[in-house]
A = this chain, B = another copy of it.
Amino acid sequence: MSLRSRLEAGETLFTAWSGVPDALTVEIIAGQGFDAVALDMQHGGHHEDSVLRGIVPILNARKHAIVRIPVGRFDMASRALDFGAEAVIAPMINSVADARAFAASMKYPPLGERSWGPTYAFPRHGQGDFAAWLAESNKRTLAFAMIETRAAIDALDGILETPGIDGVFVGPSDLSIAWTRGKTVNTALEDMMEAIADIARRAQQANKLRAIFVVDPRMAGRYTKMGFQLFATASEPMLIARGAESILSAARQSLSAK
């Protein structure tokens, strides 16, 4: 079942967020209870090679493969799809022009300008023939525009109307920097919450998907009420730090218990 189908069917989904460009680390993450794994090429360490190789264990674990590209690297949006990704997240979509450029790289003509060449994606997903693949691709693959600046909020309606944009993805860290005009970074900023809720509301009205990064996983409940459906969380440093604390505190407790 595709990521789009599941989200449109109303499921609440969680994606892990990988920044270590290594397929074996991705494999371990893909084996956990997440619905998807996102490979981060913006702030994480993923690159062309690690995305190409990292998608295999995600698909082998029957999870959805998502890629976040670096700012403005729409050449890579096309490549991520060619490598077998199901969704691409583009950071800093701050204007309708940004949205159009992103959509162009994500969708085959006439909707966009994506070039043909699913060398890896086609055998990895192993279905149909080339013509069928072309016919369904624009629908099956998802373009998430990151909304994380005041400019983006101002341009939101235009971004949402851009053909080929399938959803929004809120980046609350950057939004908090924008919100405080560079004063701080704080995803829990209370006076930013209404703006976040408004993004979800307008996206839902425009019939677009809603995703957000949750630094604190306990925020998922509040965001879900706003209309968010897909939650990104759990980078390797988060996962490993929590795991280490859990193991070491159990061990140290047993020491002092003696």
Residues of A participating in the B interface, judged by any CB pair closer than 8 Å: 12, 14, 16, 19-25, 27-29, 31-34, 41-45, 47-50, 52-53, 56-57, 59-60, 70-76, 78-79, 82-83, 91-92, 105, 108-111, 113, 115-120, 123, 130-131, 134, 148-149, 171, 173-174, 177-178, 181-182, 184-186, 214, 217-222, 224-225, 231, 233-248, 250-258
A251 and B222 form a contact (CB under 8 A): no
B239 and A244 form a contact (CB under 8 A): yes
A224 and B43 form a contact (CB under 8 A): no
B116 and A185 form a contact (CB under 8 A): yes
A251 and B217 form a contact (CB under 8 A): yes
Contacts of A178 in B (CB 8 A): 109
Contacts of A240 in B (CB 8 A): 28-29, 32, 236, 239-240, 243
Instruction: Assess A28 versus B24: contact at CB under 8 Å? Given A45-B52, A177-B108.
Output: no
Contacts of A118 in B (CB 8 A): 43
A236 and B25 form a contact (CB under 8 A): yes
Sample 23 A-B pairs with CB under 8 A, ordered by A number.
A32-B248, A34-B248, A42-B78, A42-B115, A45-B48, A45-B119, A45-B120, A47-B48, A47-B49, A48-B48, A56-B57, A70-B76, A71-B105, A91-B115, A115-B171, A214-B251, A217-B247, A218-B251, A220-B252, A221-B251, A221-B256, A222-B258, A242-B243
How many copies of this kind of chain does the complex include? 6
Instruction: Assess A33 versus B257: contact at CB under 8 Å? Given A43-B115, A83-B45.
Output: no
Contacts of A171 in B (CB 8 A): 115
A107 to chain B, nearest CB (A): 9
| CB closest residue in chain B, given A111 | B182
Contacts of A111 in B (CB 8 A): 182
Contacts of A14 in B (CB 8 A): 248, 251
A164 to chain B, nearest CB (A): 12
A45 and B24 form a contact (CB under 8 A): yes
